[in-house]
Amino acid sequence: MDKKDICSYTYSELQEEMKSFGEKSFRAGQIYEWLHVKLAEDFDEMTNLAKDFRKRLKEEYEIRRLTLRERQISRKDPTEKYLFELWDGNLVESVLMRYSYGNSVCISSQAGCRMGCRFCASAIGGLIRNLSASEMLGQIYRIQKLIGERISNIVVMGTGEPLDNYDNFLKFIHMISDEHGLHISQRNITASTCGIVPNMRRLAREGLQITLALSLHGSTQEKRRKLMPVANKYELSEVLDACGYYFQETGRRVTFEYSLVQGVNDSKEDAKELIRMLGGKNCHLNLIPVNQIKEREFRKPCRKNILEFKNKLEHHKINVTIRRERGSDIDGACGQLRRRHTASKKEN
């Protein structure tokens, strides 16, 4: 029988688990601290637990940590990219970005993705499987241990669609912000969705303080549909209503992400549509010059056009930024490192 993944139990679940294991519930507090604060990788590190208790734990549970397969350090900016192997051999990638305000990690929420966005490298091989809460936590823990510094900010913008893995994602948010664990403030966490409307609404009611980012990418329903198959299921108007609802319920301003693709969504008309859509709304628009991937034709507009696009929106008082391109020399972002590995595995 498979051993149980002990890092996927929340604090209260672990207390229950220890009770049914015949142990006092305070033991759960000790174990939780070893796993989620001291980031132990082996039960034998838990020296304040009796040896025979550790032995019984080992028989029943396992600590599934991630194995580092590759680490790329950018020469251009303080960005590092990691490729991790999960216990079953699947690969996920994470990115560390160092900022003046602290260390930020971008994590993956699934191995692969089934959303099929046309410009995205993660979509190419489809979905392999959901990540467990402990595998999402594990990316942060592994990086924190490797660099020996605290991680203070998290973006769930790596491979996968967090709202397509709702329960594990929600558990992850609770665990990473739990005061018994790393206790990262929910206000320092952003999760990005392609717009799964029912789950956006559900998330709005969870009483969280995380920032929701919506991948918009098209200025109209028609344009969005061409880039993002999920738009066939949920109309742009419904998605925008769900964003409004998220703001209303949580008081958290929604971020809109717009990947600029030359000749596809960067025209004057697009800027006008965006002004119509977002003008007067309390939101933030992040323009992302599209990351070119070798399997796709999409190109980013030239710098001048990107700035013109931004200026038009700013002129109408839309709060807009251009995403700084980080780590462009290390397979940038968006599933390209994992993609290179899985593709070369297949070719071998």
CA distance 132 to 136: 7
CA atoms within 13 A on the CB side of 187: 2
φ, ψ for residue 189, nearest 5 deg: -120, 130
Catalytic residue status for 117: no
Distance (Å, whole) CA 14 – CA 11 = 5
- Of 93, 135, 161, 257, catalytic: 93
Residue with tokens 């993956």: 108
| Site membership for ligand SAH, residue 157 (CB under 6 A) | yes
Nearer to ligand SAH, 117 or 271 (CB): 117
Quote the crossing angle between the two packed helices 303-315 and 268-278, to the nearest 10°: 30
Question: What is the closest distance, in whole angstroms, from the C-beta atom of residue 188 to ligand SAH in the complex?
Answer: 17
Quick one: which segment of 14-22, 33-41, 115-123, 204-212 binds ligand SAH (CB under 6 A)?
Answer: 115-123
Question: What is the CB neighbour count within 10 angstroms for residue 107?
Answer: 28
Q: Are 58 and 325 in contact (CB under 8 A)?
A: no
Contact string (CB under 6 A) for ligand SAH, positions 315-334, x = contact: -------------------x
Tell me whether residue 347 is one of the annotated catalytic residues.
Answer: no
Stretch that binds ligand SAH, among 16-24, 34-42, 60-68, 283-291 (CB under 6 A): 283-291
Does 103 help bind ligand SAH (rule: CB under 6 A)? no
Residue whose entry in the numeric block shows the structure tokens 């699934």:
110
250 binds ligand SAH (CB under 6 A): no
Residue 161 contacts ligand SAH per CB under 6 A: yes
Interactions with ligand SAH, residue window 210-249 (CB under 6 A): 215
Which neighbouring-strand residues pair with 214? 193, 256
CB of 197 to ligand SAH, least distance (A): 14
Neighbours of 106 (CB within 10 A): 25
- 44: tokens are 């034998």
157 or 278, CB closer to ligand SAH?
157
Site residues (CB under 6 A) for ligand SAH? 115, 117, 119-120, 157, 161, 192-194, 215, 257, 259, 288, 290-291, 293, 334
> Which residues carry out catalysis?
93, 334
